[in-house]
A and B are shown apart, each in its own frame.
Chain A
Amino acid sequence: MPSVQGIGLQFNPTVVDDLGWERFGECPIDFAEVLIDTFVAPLDCRFLLDPQARGLLEVVADRYPLLAHSNYGGEFGFDPLEETAAVRRHVPFVRSIESPFVADHLFYGAPSTSHIWSSPLQFSHREIARVADRAAALQDLLEVPLLHEDVFFYAAFAGSDIAAAEFVAGVAERAGTFLLLDLHNVYANSINHAGFSSEAYLATIPLERVLEIHIAGGQWLDGWYHDFHNGPVPEPVWHMLQTVLSRAHNVRGVVLEIQGPAHNPRSRRTDPTWVDMACDDLRRARQLWLNSGRVD
């Protein structure tokens, strides 16, 4: 079983293409988080892995333990679960790399995968029941813990009538699943939405179910703070990380996300300074990890 413990970096193709993965070799990381959809084959062919991506996966696997991360599984849409990419591609991929757990996102899945990030789940009790039942079924298929990552959203989905934190907690507790706490999403939502309190969020979710933490930076545009993963980790996120590491005792890893322009044409472009930016953030994350009493 690969050891996934400590500080990780998300292997994002937008950065890999622009800067090259090897440039991050100086960054102090213990494992690599790989985006499953970068490596799996399309649903309309017989392969599990994209033949072209297999070599890249082997290169990364030779160097680091791998942790799988799901973006476009579509498990929380309204199509039958067994027809989704989550079941048809992500489950076998997670097994093939022996990922110790895998995280997904609380968005509506649809055949049009680009819709996902603009379609957060409705925060409601009825959706807790529907989503949790699908999550439990998926976790059974995965045979490893399934983590749900909290969402960044521009507006709560139509019909939402409970708080985001209550929804996240409700899903995980009903399904018996776990959490990936994205602290930058929590921070960005607290900036953009009156009434969204980071402190209240952290006080509501079951921290004992948090197995992984994401940190990242973002960008201001037109009066909104966007979760573009294209800047240094903000100070309030560091403060939250310190707090959570002292309270959440089951955390296995902290992962830094960095990403080139993928959501908006005005998102900052990657440049070589991002390597130092990432390394600085990873060193600081490791220091907080050690300060929390965890071993190197």
Chain B
Amino acid sequence: MRQLDAADCHRVWREVIADERLFEALLDRHPVPRPPVPLMRPGDDAILETLAADTAALRWNVLNLRFRASLDTMLKLRRWMPLTTCLLTAGHDDWLQDLCYEYLSRHRWDDLGHRHFAECRRFTAFIEDQVRGRRTLPDHFETVLAYEASVCAMLEESAHVPDAAWGPEIDPGGPIGTRRPRPGPLTRLLELPVDITAWITAGAPTEDEVGAGPLTLLAFVPRREETFWVIPLDANQQLVFERCSGRTTADQIAGALERQAAFHAPDVLALVGAWVRHGALALD
């Protein structure tokens, strides 16, 4: 008897996982259906026959996999989009896992595994395409989703940003006056219509009322630290940050703001210096 090739068996097995109708047909022991082209290759029938030979084992393998997939996906989403998922399901994990079950079923049980941020992005599309049309979403859901989707996008982008994009190494305590500050390659200004600072701090939508907006947040990934930061900016801080475009020196920025907007130049330099030390700004 011809040896069944392991790679072929794995390919057909993954199709059984993905194709719910094929799985049900195997369980029912109908004449084993031919999977759709282009999966079908010579020898695949024999692999399907082997899988259908023990329907009890097949059922455990697939049903346990679906439970695991929905649970793991729920944990991923809860980790990186805690406010969105909590608002979406009123904090009920069972409900969230059930939504994940539906989401994964629509994606042929192809969870994205270690690509957490790609998973968050795809789940966001699922909310937009499927959930939004069939129920009223809670107050401030849009704000929370926009915030968390932006942070996830920044983190996903971080995979492709080389260290060199931060520019030359800096002396954190060194003078910055003659250097030209600019946002780091993973620094974003996020504008939100309402102030959800209390929720972000708590990591969950708390009983605290959201504040009046708008809210400006400085989100960034530093070069050296394995973390990211989100800092609220007031109007003055935002003005300083927006001047840090890499075109003028820190001294020039401070001087201009002192003349034009009654800022105290040493305060501007101190603020810019703090952002440089934290890694939100790079220096050219």
- A and B co-occur in one complex: yes
Q: Which of B12, B13, B221 is the most central at the interface, judged by chain A CB atoms within 10 Å of its CB?
A: B13
Of A49-57, A132-140, A202-210, A245-253, the one contacting chain B is A49-57
User: Taking A43-B114, A126-B6 as contacts, is the C-beta distance between A51 and B226 under 8 angstroms?
Assistant: yes
CB nearest to A88 among chain B residues: B114
Interface flags for B12-24 (1: CB within 8 Å of A; 0: not) read 1110010000000
Q: Give chain A interface residues in 248-292, CB to chain B under 8 Å.
A: 261-265
Per-residue interface assignment for chain A, residues 101 to 117, with 1 indicating a CB less than 8 Å from any chain B CB and 0 otherwise: 00000001011111101
B44-87 near A? 1/0 per residue, CB < 8 Å = 00010011001011101111110111011100000100000000
Contacts of B17 in A (CB 8 A): 115, 118
Once the chains bind, are A44 and B68 in contact (CB under 8 Å)? no
Interface size on B, residues (CB 8 A): 50
Q: Please tell me which one of the listed residues B6, B111, B155, B227 contacts residue A112 in the complex, with CB atoms under 8 A apart.
A: B111
Given known pairs A85-B114, A224-B60, the reply for A114 and B69 (CB within 8 Å) is: yes
CB distance from A233 to the nearest CB of B (A): 22
CB proximity to A under 8 Å, residues B152-167 = 155-156, 158-159, 161
| B7 proximal to A (CB < 8 A) | yes
Is there a chain A Cβ closer than 8 Å to B277's Cβ? no
| Interface contact A44-B69, CB-CB below 8 Å | no
8 A Cβ contacts from B1-37 to A = 3-7, 9-10, 12-14, 17
Q: Report the Cα distance A262→B60, complex, angstroms.
A: 13
User: Which of these, B64, B116, B159, contacts A46 with CB under 8 Å?
Assistant: B159
| Other-chain contact of B115, A43, A122, A127 (Cβ < 8 Å) | A43
Q: B275 on the interface (CB 8 Å rule)?
A: no
Distance, CA A261 to CA B71, complexed state (A): 9
- Are A51 and B227 CB-contacts (below 8 A) given A111-B115, A112-B113, A158-B9? yes
Given A44-B114, A47-B226, A154 contacting B7 (CB threshold 8 A): no
Beta-carbon contact of B64 and A118 below 8 Å: yes
Tell me whether A119 is interfacial, beta carbon within 8 Å. yes
Q: Which residues of B contact A115 (CB under 8 A)?
A: 14, 17, 65, 69, 109
Complex Cα gap A161–B117 (Å): 40
Chain B residues near A49: list those with CB within 8 A: 226
> Which residues of A sit under 8 angstroms from B69, Cβ to Cβ?
112, 114-115
Once the chains bind, are B228 and A51 in contact (CB under 8 Å)?
yes
User: Known: A126-B6, A159-B47. Contact between A42 and B115, CB under 8 A?
Assistant: yes
Q: Identify which of A89, A117, A122 contacts B64 (C-beta below 8 A).
A: A117
Please, how many angstroms separate the alpha-carbon atoms of A159 and B57 in the complex? 15
A167 to chain B, nearest CB (A): 12
Distance in angstroms between the alpha carbons of A236 and B9 in the assembled complex: 34
B110 near A112 with CB under 8 A, answer: yes
Whether the pair A158, B3 counts as a contact (CB closer than 8 A) is no
Give Cα A261 to B61, complex, Å.
Answer: 16
* Interface pair A44/B116, CB less than 8 Å apart: yes
Partner of B9, one of A51, A118, A159: A159
Given contacts A115-B109, A122-B4, 4 further A-B contacts (CB under 8 A): A42-B114, A114-B65, A157-B13, A158-B51
Between-chain CB contacts (< 8 Å), 25 pairs: A42-B155, A44-B117, A46-B221, A48-B226, A50-B79, A51-B226, A78-B10, A85-B114, A89-B114, A112-B109, A113-B72, A113-B113, A114-B68, A114-B111, A118-B61, A118-B62, A118-B65, A122-B9, A154-B60, A155-B54, A157-B13, A158-B4, A159-B3, A159-B9, A161-B3
A interface, CB within 8 angstroms of B: 41-52, 54, 72, 74, 77-78, 85, 89, 108, 110-115, 117-119, 121-122, 124, 126-127, 130, 154-155, 157-159, 161, 224, 226, 261-265
